[in-house]
Amino acid sequence: MPYRAILIIVLQTLLVACGVQQGDQQTSSAAVVPAQSSVAAPVSSDNSLDTTAPVVVYSSRQEYLIKPLFDRFTAETGIQVQLQTGEDGPLIARLQAEGDATFADVLYTVDAGNLWAAADKGLLAPLHSEILEANIPAHLRDPEGRWFGLSVRARTIAYSTARVDPAQLSTYEALAEPQWQGRLCLRTSKKVYNMSLVATMIDRLGIAPTEAVVRGWVANLATNVFSSDTLIIEAIAAGQCDVGIVNTYYLGQMQQQDPALPVALFWANQAENGVHVNISGAGITTHASNPAGALRLLEWLSTAAPQYMFSDLNLEYPANPAIAPVALVQNWGEFKQDTINVETAGRLQVEAVMLMDRADYR
C-alpha cells in the first residue's frame, strides 16, 4: 500500500479514537474512488447486539437538532453514538473515498435527493426491518430499503396576510400566472429543496409543462432570488413580495420569535396531487462495522418518543403518521401530502437542474 494511503488511514483512526465528533467537516484527502457496489446479505435485526460498540454517524444536520435524540438513545439502550458533521456533498464524497475503511455506520442527512445520490453510489446497504417498514410510509423510504425518512418537511406557499386573500391561491403551477407578476419571491435554484420540488413536478407533469411553469415563476419574480427561506419570509412581511415557496419549519422558527408575523401558510395542490414533501433520513453504510447497532438506532428513531422530539426540536412533521407534531405545527392545519416516492427527487435531479438553467432560474 502506498505510504500516503497508509498515513491517511492512520490519521483517520487517530481522529475517531480521540473522539472527534461535532463540527468535523473535513473530507478525506484521499482520491475519490468508486465504492464497492457488492453488498452481503441485507442488514436485519440482531438479537445478540453488542451494546459496548458505538454507532458512528456522519450527518449534515446541525448538532443541536439531533444530539438530544442520540443522548436519549444512549440513555435508553446503553449504546454510544459518535457524531461527525459536515455538508452533504463532502460527507458523501468522504464516504466514497474511505470505501471499506470508513468509520461511518450511518449516513444521516436532509433531502431524499442526497440519500438517493449516496445509495446510487453504492454507499448504503439494503436493510430489512419490520419496525421501519411498519412505522415509515412507503413513499418516504427507498424502494430498495437503503434509506428511510425520519422526519418530514413540507414545502408550500407562504403569503402575506395583509395583501393576499388565500382564496386567490391554489397550486405551485398557478404562481406562474400573470396575476402574480412582480409579487413572487423564490429561493435560489441551487438549493436542493427547489431541485427536488421541480424534479417531482417533472415526474407528474412532464418536462415541457414543468419548464413552462418555471419560466412563469421567473417572469413573476419581485426581486432577485434569495439565499434562504427565512429571507423570503422576511421579504413577504416587509412588502417586497406577496407570496413565496418555503419549507414550513422556517416560518415556525420565526413565529416562535414573533407570533404576530403577518405571514401564513397555504397548502398547495390540495385538489390535485397534494403538497410537496421531503425528508430528513438515514441509511446504514455499506461498510458499517456495527450494522446491528446502526439498525437499532434507526428503528428507535422511528418510534413514538423520538418522532415527537423531531417535531419539537426541528418543527418538522414526524415521518411516522401515528405520531402528532407539536402544537405550533398542528396549528398550521392538516393537509394532503403528495405521495409520489421521494426518491424521485434524486432520480430526476439532473433533469431538474438542466430545466431550471434553461428557464433562467438562478
CATH value at residue 350: 3.40.190.10
pLDDT mean across residues, the chain? 89
Instruction: Clarify whether residues 167 and 263 are in a common domain.
Output: yes
Instruction: Look at residue 342 and tell me if it is in a domain.
Output: yes
Instruction: Clarify whether residues 228 and 148 are in a common domain.
Output: no
Instruction: Look at residue 167 and tell me if it is in a domain.
Output: yes
pLDDT at 46: 52
Give pLDDT tens digits for 251-298: 999 999 999 999 999 999 999 999 999 999 999 999 999 999 999 999
Instruction: Look at residue 20 and tell me if it is in a domain.
Output: no
Mean pLDDT of 313-325: 98
**pLDDT of 142 over the 80 cut:** yes
Instruction: Clarify whether residues 57 and 129 are in a common domain.
Output: yes
Instruction: Look at residue 39 and tell me if it is in a domain.
Output: no
**pLDDT of 246 over the 70 cut:** yes
Give the residue from 342, 352, 350 showing the smallest Cα distance to 154: 342
Phi/psi of residue 3, nearest 5 degrees: -55, -40
Instruction: Look at residue 30 and tell me if it is in a domain.
Output: no
Instruction: Clarify whether residues 234 and 138 are in a common domain.
Output: no
Confidence of residue 50 (pLDDT cuts 50, 70, 90): confident
Instruction: Clarify whether residues 237 and 353 are in a common domain.
Output: yes
Instruction: Clarify whether residues 209 and 249 are in a common domain.
Output: yes
Reported pTM:
0.86
Q: Please report, to the nearest 10 degrees, the dihedral formed by the alpha carbons of residues 17, 20, 24, 27 taken in order.
A: 0
Instruction: Look at residue 299 and tell me if it is in a domain.
Output: yes
Phi/psi of residue 283, nearest 5 degrees: -145, 165
pLDDT at 51: 79
Instruction: Clarify whether residues 235 and 352 are in a common domain.
Output: yes
**Cα end-to-end distance, the chain, whole Å:** 45
Instruction: Clarify whether residues 183 and 261 are in a common domain.
Output: yes
Rounded to an integer, what distance in angstroms lies between the CA atom of residue 301 and that of residue 307?
6
Instruction: Clarify whether residues 184 and 265 are in a common domain.
Output: yes
Calculate what percentage of the chain has a pLDDT beyond 70.
86
Mean pLDDT of 128-139: 97
Instruction: Look at residue 19 and tell me if it is in a domain.
Output: no
Instruction: Look at residue 300 and tell me if it is in a domain.
Output: yes
Instruction: Clarify whether residues 144 and 258 are in a common domain.
Output: no
Domain of residue 313, residue span: 44-152+277-330
Give pLDDT tens digits for 152-187: 999 999 999 999 999 999 999 999 999 999 999 999
Q: How many domains does the chain have?
A: 2
**pLDDT of 26 over the 90 cut:** no
The count of other CB atoms within 10 Å of the CB of residue 135 is: 24
